[in-house]
A = this chain, B = another copy of it.
Amino acid sequence: MADTSTWALSAVSTTQANEHAPCEDDCGIRDVLDRLGDRWSVLVIVALAKGTRRFGELKAAVPGISQRMLTVTTKRLIRDGLVERTVYPMIPPQTDYRLTAMGESFSQAVADLADWSRRHKEAIALARLRFEVEHPGEL
């Protein structure tokens, strides 16, 4: 039994032609994960959770972000309806950013996630150490 030549032909039936496999069922999660995925969205949300901020204040509140990524990120958040922008036409110009109702809600969800990571950060760090000794060099 267990001839190595048999299972070579047992076709994998690779989910037969799924084109782009766009989830179909669940999704909508993708949009959320995309925001969570990029480097800055969450940080900006967290900063705005403390209240309305101007562009410069926001930049200062999110250490390391470039002006470009700040504009791009805020624009994406605005597009998704998480953030609102108010422009005061003065010299020098002023622009205020604040969370929308949905933004606040999202902020709460993020906070819950932060809670989870706080409760498990030691366990994760430990797991990584173990992995490093058992599989040195990998990843």
Contacts and interface: CB of A to CB of B under 8 A. Distances in A.
Q: Is the interface of A mostly helix, strand, loop or mixed?
A: helix
B114 A105 contact: no
Given A4-B91, A21-B63, A114 B75 contact: no
Contact of A28 (B76, B117, B127, B131): B117
A92 B7 contact: yes
Interface string A2-42: 10100100001111001011000010110111001110001
Number of identical protomers: 2
Contacts of A80: 124, 127-128
14 contacts: A7-B92, A28-B124, A29-B113, A29-B118, A31-B121, A75-B138, A75-B139, A80-B128, A81-B123, A102-B123, A102-B124, A106-B116, A109-B116, A112-B112
Interface of A: 2, 4, 7, 12-15, 18, 20-21, 26, 28-29, 31-33, 36-38, 42, 46, 56, 59-60, 63-64, 75-76, 78-81, 90-92, 102, 105-106, 109, 112-114, 116-118, 120-121, 123-124, 126-128, 130-131, 135, 138-139
